[in-house]
Chain A
Amino acid sequence: MVNKILIGIVGVQGAISEHINSMKNALYKLNIKGDIIVIKDSFQIDEIDALIIPGGESTTISNILQKSGLYNEIFKKIKEKNLPIMGTCAGCVLLASELVEDIKEIKLLYAMNMKVKRNAYGGQRESFECDIDIKGFKKQYNAIFIRAPIIQKVWGDCEIIAKFEDDIIMARQGKFLALSFHPELTDDIRIQKYFIDMI
Chain B
Amino acid sequence: MNKSKIIVPKYGTEKLKKGFAKMQKGGVVMDVTNAEQARIAEDSGAVAVMALERVPADIRAHGGVARMADPHIIEKIIDSVSIPVMAKARIGHFAEAQALEAIGVDMIDESEVLTPADPFYHIDKRKFTIPFVCGCRNLGEAVRRIWEGAAMIRTKGEAGTGNIIEAIRHQRMVTTMIKRIEKMKNDEIQKLSQDYCKSYVNSVEVLTGKKVNDKTIVFENYNYFTVKNDIFKILKDIKEVYHRMPVVNFAAGGIATPADAAIMMQLGSDGVFVGSGIFKSANPSKRAKAIVEAVANYNKPDVIAEISKNLGDAMTGIEIENIPKEQLLQERGW
Inter-chain CA distance A144–B11, complex, in Å, is 10
Give min CB distance, A28 to chain B, whole Å: 17
- Greatest chain B CB density within 10 A among A11, A89, A129, A133 is at A129
Of A11, A60, A128, A131, the residue contacting B45 (CB under 8 A) is A60
Contact mask for chain B residues 156-179; partner A; CB cutoff 8 A; 1 contact, 0 none: 000000000000000000000000
Judge if A188 is at the interface, Cβ distance under 8 Å.
no
A59 and B83 contacting across the interface, CB-CB below 8 Å: yes
Judge if B23 is at the interface, Cβ distance under 8 Å.
yes
Instruction: Kindly report which residue of chain A lies nearest to residue B85, judged by CB atoms.
Output: A123
- Given contacts A12-B296, A64-B292, A123-B104, A56 and B26 within 8 Å (CB-CB): yes
Residues of B within 8 A of A26 (CB): none
Inter-chain CA distance A131–B82, complex, in Å, is 27
Q: Which of B1-9, B53-61, B225-233 contacts A (4 or more CB under 8 A)?
A: B1-9
Number of A-B contacts (CB under 8 A): 129
Residues of B within 8 A of A64 (CB): 45, 292-293, 296
Residues of B within 8 A of A40 (CB): 297
Residues of A within 8 A of B131 (CB): 124
A125 and B10 contacting across the interface, CB-CB below 8 Å: no
Judge if A115 is at the interface, Cβ distance under 8 Å.
no
Of A14, A55, A90, A140, the residue contacting B5 (CB under 8 A) is A140
Judge if B84 is at the interface, Cβ distance under 8 Å.
yes
- Greatest chain A CB density within 10 A among B25, B44, B104 is at B25
- Given contacts A89-B23, A129-B9, A57 and B47 within 8 Å (CB-CB): yes
Residues of B within 8 A of A130 (CB): 7-10
Inter-chain CA distance A105–B47, complex, in Å, is 12
Judge if A119 is at the interface, Cβ distance under 8 Å.
yes
- Given contacts A119-B82, A125-B129, A140 and B2 within 8 Å (CB-CB): yes
What is the predominant secondary structure among interface residues of chain B facing chain A?
loop
Interface residues on B, range: 35 or more
Instruction: List residues 13-61 of chain A with CB under 8 A from any CB of chain B.
Output: 13-18, 40, 55-57, 59-60
A124 and B84 contacting across the interface, CB-CB below 8 Å: yes
B296 and A55 contacting across the interface, CB-CB below 8 Å: no
B16 and A15 contacting across the interface, CB-CB below 8 Å: no
- Greatest chain B CB density within 10 A among A60, A103, A126, A131 is at A60
Instruction: Kindly report which residue of chain A lies nearest to residue B128, judged by CB atoms.
Output: A125
- Residues of B whose CB lies within 8 Å of any CB of A are 1-2, 5, 7-13, 15-16, 19-20, 22-27, 42-48, 78, 82-85, 101, 104-107, 129-131, 292-293, 296-297
Q: Which 9 A-B pairs have the closest CB atoms?
A: A63-B45, A128-B9, A124-B106, A13-B26, A130-B9, A57-B47, A15-B22, A64-B296, A60-B45
Beyond the given pairs A60-B292, A104-B43, 17 more chain A to chain B contacts, judged by CB atoms under 8 angstroms and listed by A's residue number, are A13-B26, A14-B27, A57-B84, A64-B296, A67-B293, A68-B296, A90-B23, A105-B42, A122-B104, A123-B104, A124-B16, A124-B107, A127-B16, A127-B19, A129-B10, A132-B7, A140-B5
- Residues of A whose CB lies within 8 Å of any CB of B are 11-18, 40, 55-57, 59-60, 63-64, 67-68, 89-90, 101, 103-105, 118-119, 122-133, 140, 144, 146-147, 164-165, 182, 185-186
Give 5 pairs: A residue, B residue, CB < 8 Å, sorted on A.
A57-B27, A67-B293, A89-B23, A124-B106, A146-B16
